[in-house]
Chain A
Amino acid sequence: MTRYASVLDLVGNTPVVDVSALSPKSNVTILAKLEGRNPAGSVKDRVALSLVEAAERDGRLIVGKPDQILIEPSSGNTGIALALVCRLRDYHLKVVLPTNVSPERRQLLLAFGAEIIDSPGAEGSNGAVRLAQRLSEENPEWVFLYQYANPANPLAHYSTTGPEILADVPEITHFVAGLGTSGTLMGVGRFLKERRPDVQIWAVEPPSGEIVDGLRSLDDGYVPPIFTDNDGEHLLNRKVIVRARESIEWTRKLTEVGLFVGLSSGAAMAGAVKCAATIDDEVSATIVTLIADDGWKYLSTGAWSDDVDDVVERAKSIIYF
């Protein structure tokens, strides 16, 4: 095999595997891009590296300068990926993390030396974003990369994920991925549409459970600036919501083709199957869906072993997605 100088050289160039055995239609191929193969375990390795390198280019971070502090809100994957990059670059990372994320994420952050700042679980991701914004205003010397608004986030996907997909799957007709910061969909979507305007871009809205209950009014809502900046409403062709039960069921079904993946990937696969179901019998189509991470960080959820009803109930109070 190839020899690499740094773990960071292992980011990207992930494999694509045929999972059409789970396709509802024989004329529709479904391919899964396995982002769990990245060194810190998720698609967010691409984003973390891109965010840090952009900050180094524009001078917000200086390689080798001691005591530089970064702050970022994350429910897990971005934090873990940034923690890896920061450890290798010798930056101190503070991650604002809702209290109700799965314990594996907390431990991975600590393993890579990140500091955790708790945000109220009931306020979910929006609460973590607000707290990180406030802390960065109070501490202007901290570097706030703010993945939700930083063009380096979609750029990571425009310059790596998108080109990899088109090189490996030139016959692609649909791209289906989960919507979080919208970085993947905006970056890959823009890259594909520029080269193949007919490719359909589908977003999967993950279940939001307790987070929705924690909102007092719509004024607490949030649309990521990178979604607006990239004219997301016109870039996307469809957006479907996938419920917790469906996500867990599809996470389990993916083991039938040998894939042990995170719950948001179950949601993405459910979205790919919904997409396949809309395609006419006489048309052949190739859907690429993005598997954001592997299942290891979710073992404590019991998603593969416990009664589905119990897992769905737990998903209302713990951030799984």
Chain B
Amino acid sequence: MGGESVIAVEGSTVGEVLLTLTTTYPAIKGQLLNADGTLHRFLNVYVNDDDVRYLGGVEARVDNDDEITLLPAVAGGAW
């Protein structure tokens, strides 16, 4: 997605963090969230190495100093 690779963003849930991010960087809005606020199908979001889809999705809670990683879904692994 270019530019800075690590930035600090406020929010108490994953959804809030992503929304704040898209306000700061409007160009990436459609890349992160669908119109209904759910995660883009090809976006994987991790809170401290845990995929948030299995922690409640955009509702997943985040604390101070949690690290959120955004990665595109790729056909990876020892395939």
Contacts and interface: CB of A to CB of B under 8 A. Distances in A.
A52 interface: no
B51 A240 contact: yes
A306 interface: no
Q: How large is the interface on B (under 10, 10 to 19, 20 to 34, 35 or more residues)?
A: 20 to 34
Contacts of B43: 218, 221
B53 A233 contact: yes
Interface string B37-67: 0001111101001110110000000000000
A321 B78 CA distance: 5
Contact of B76 (A205, A236, A243, A262): A205
A279 interface: no
B13 to A, nearest CB: 19
B60 to A, nearest CB: 12
Contact of A126 (B44, B46, B51, B74): B74
B71 A208 contact: yes
Contacts of A224: 75
A211 B78 CA distance: 14
A224 B42 CA distance: 11
A87 interface: no
Contacts of B54: 233, 236-239
Interface of B: 31, 40-44, 46, 49-51, 53-54, 69, 71-79
What are the 5 A-B residue pairs with the smallest beta carbon separation, nearest first?
Answer: A180-B77, A221-B42, A239-B51, A180-B79, A264-B78
